[in-house]
Every structure is written in C-alpha cells, then in structure tokens.
Amino acid sequence: MIKKLFLYTLLALVLIFCVCLGIGYYYLQQFSKQHMNVTADNQMFVLAKGTSLHQLVEQVEESDLMQQAYLLPYLYKVDPSLGSIKAGTYQLHPYMTVEEFLKLLVSGKDSKFVVQFVEGKRVKDWFKVLSNTPYIQQTLTDKSHDEIAKLLGIEGELEGWFSPDTYQYTANSSDFNILKRAHLTMKANLQKVWDNRANDLPYKSPYELLIIASIIEKETSVSSERANVASVFVNRLKSNMKLQTDPTIIYGLGDNYTGKIRRVDLTDKNNPYNTYVIEGLPPTPISMPSLASLEAAAHPADTNYLFFVANGSGGHTFSSTYQGHQQAVKEYRRLTQGN
C-alpha cells in the first residue's frame, strides 16, 4: 500500500513537473514572439566585445527594448544556439520580435552605414562630413593636412585627391580608412584617365589634368557641357591665354570670400589662385572632381571656344571670339538684370 502511494505520488509529481515544463515552454515561446519596443527603422543596438548574457539582459533593460528581459537566459536554455551572441552594431526595426533580435545578434551581421562625399566640395568640407558621421572612429582630428597627406602617401596638398562617391562602412571604421579608400579610388581613376587621354593636350602630368578637372567641376553642373568647358581651358592654355576662371579666385580667397568677387580681387597678385593674373594653372586642384570631369579634361570637345558665360537658365553660352563673348554677356545681363 505504501509502495503504491509512493508510486502515485511520484507519478503526480512527474505529471505536475511536465505540466509546469509545458507551461513554461509555452510562456517562453510567447515571450520569443513578443514585439520589441523599437520605434524607428534606424534605431541601433551596439553590443560591445566580451558582453556576457547577463550583461546583455542589463543592457536590454536599460534600453527599455522589451518587457520581461529577465526571461532571456531561460530562452537560451531552450535554444542554446541563441546564446552565441557576437559583438557588433545592429540595426533594429519596428515590430521585430525577441527571437529575431537574438538571431540578429547571433548572425554577427554588422549594419552597413554610408558616408557621401559630394563632387565639387573641398577637402575641408569632407573632413566636416566625416567628423559629423556616426559610428566612425575619429583618428585624424589632431592631425594637420600635411600629416594626413604623409600618412596617405600624397606628395603636396590633399585637395583633389579623393574620389567623390558614397562609401559604405561598418561601425567603428576609422576616418582614415574611409579617406584611404577614397584616395585609392581617385588615384586609380586618374591614372586610367591619363593613360587613355586624347593626344596633344597641354598637360605635363596627371596632376595638371586633375587641376583642370577640379576647375571644370566648379564651372558647370551640366554633364553635357563638361567637354566644352574643358575645350575652353585647353584652347586657352595652348594659346598662352590666362584661364580667367572665377572659381579659382574664390578658392584662393578662402574664408575671405563674401559671396561676390570684387574688382580688387581680379587684380590681386598675392592670390596664387588668381587666374586673371597668373600664367597657366593654379598651384593645386580647387575641388574634388568627379570621374566625369576627369574624363572631360582628358577628352575635351574639338572646338575653337575661348570664352563662356552663364546663359541664365543653368547652362552656358560658348564663344570663339571676344566680340561674341561680349554679346553673350550682354544677353545674360539682360535676362538676369533686365538691362
């Protein structure tokens, strides 16, 4: 009788245990399907290297990402594969479940970020972009342009030596590595364009082509005009005429530029970028040129153009004679000033 009672008691306990396990398993499954408190598509979760499961629970609770985060360790016991979390920066999304969140941490798939370097901007503008871009290690903030150039193997100025593009990176990428990629891309593009350039161009080196391309970039945003703008500069160089291009003056003025070129600026001999005074090219590029501007500098249109002026509708009017140019200037003034 006692044995039977013991057996019945044991079976009851086993049954209760199984029922409890079932209820617990069901409850954990419901917890794993629970939606997290993610309110934006760009919400990030940074998991540091060496984070333990206990620390993950604390981090999740502090971030208020889910209810009942204390259940996470039990979920790992049900599915041990979910406990192999990897350090990284992960992008969360609205309606993500707890299970999806844990699988993301296990995948180790870091989120990809992008930084855009716009053509026609200066190197100082790009440094500002880098310094304000999230999840980038700032390693260059205390270095001068000369020091950065030396690190990159650039002889001379940094200006012009980075290729405009949109660059992907993962969290904790360094600003230096992103710049290096942009530089190597420009270096490769420039060499390829130089090797395939047209004959009889007045450039002594790839660097001179880079300078002209940077000026083209600043002179027009109309793709179909690039080759014509290039032809003007090439024809002027071949004719020993001064380039007389406003963007170079503006670049030389730097922070002293107030939005308008004054008459005194046109005659300033102390501005090495004043192409109304100096012969030939300015000493360095004045912007970061696109591949399209490099191609235009290497393959200018076959024209007799020596002048161009804005036409008032976003493009330019090109002329082969000074008389024709003066007429185009008058037309531009009539359209923009009513004269």
> Over 149-211, what HEC string results?
HHHHCCCCCCCCCCCCEEEEEECCEEHHHHHHHHHHHHHHHHHHHHHCCCCCCCCCCHHHHHH
Same domain, 175 and 221: no
Same domain, 203 and 330: yes
Using CB atoms within 10 Å of the CB of residue 334, give its burial: 0 to 12 exposed, 13 to 18 middle, 19+ buried.
exposed
Instruction: Answer for the pair 117, 129: CB distance below 8 angstroms, yes or no.
Output: yes
Nearest to 163 by CA among 118, 199, 124: 118
Which residues, at least 6 apart from 14, have a Cβ–Cβ distance to it below 8 Å?
none
Question: CA angle 196-201-204, nearest 5°?
Answer: 90
56-60, 277-281, 335-339, range with the lowest pLDDT? 335-339
Nearest to 249 by CA among 236, 263, 238: 263
Same domain, 295 and 209: yes
Indicate the residue among 91, 107, 123 that finishes a domain: 107
Same domain, 227 and 289: yes
Same domain, 331 and 212: yes
User: What pLDDT score was predicted for residue 176?
Assistant: 96
CA 299 to CA 199: how far, in whole Å?
9
- Residue 161 zone, left/alpha/beta (φ > 0; ψ -120 to 50; rest): alpha
Instruction: Answer for the pair 60, 52: CB distance below 8 angstroms, yes or no.
Output: no
User: What pLDDT score was predicted for residue 15?
Assistant: 53
* Domains in the chain, number: 3
Same domain, 217 and 322: yes
Same domain, 42 and 101: yes
Same domain, 117 and 103: no
**23-78 pLDDT, tens digit each:** 545 556 667 788 888 877 778 888 888 888 888 888 888 888 888 878 778 777 77
Backbone angles phi and psi of 46, in degrees to 5? -100, 120
Same domain, 138 and 172: yes
Question: Band of the pLDDT at 19, cuts 50, 70, 90?
Answer: very low
Nearest to 55 by CA among 33, 72, 80: 72
- Check residues 53 and 217 and name the one with the higher pLDDT: 217
Same domain, 159 and 210: no
Residue 316 structure tokens = 């330019």
Which residues, at least 6 apart from 251, have a Cβ–Cβ distance to it below 8 Å?
122, 273, 282, 286, 287
Same domain, 99 and 219: no
SS3 125: helix
Pairing between strand 136-137 and 173-174?
parallel
Question: CA angle 213-217-218, nearest 5°?
Answer: 125
Q: Average pLDDT of 87-114?
A: 85
**191-207 pLDDT, tens digit each:** 999 999 999 999 999 99
Indicate the residue among 164, 190, 216 that finishes a domain: 190
Q: What CATH number is given to the structural domain containing 49? A: 3.30.1490.480
SS3 212: helix
Indicate the residue among 140, 160, 190 that finishes a domain: 190
Q: Is the pLDDT of residue 134 over 80?
A: yes
Q: Range of 25's domain?
A: 2-107
Same domain, 101 and 117: no
Neighbours of 32 (CB within 10 A): 19
Q: Is the pLDDT of residue 10 over 60?
A: no
What does the buried/exposed string (b/e) look like for 183-212 if buried means 16 or more CB atoms within 10 Å of the residue's CB? bebbbebbeebbeebeeebbbeebbbbbbb
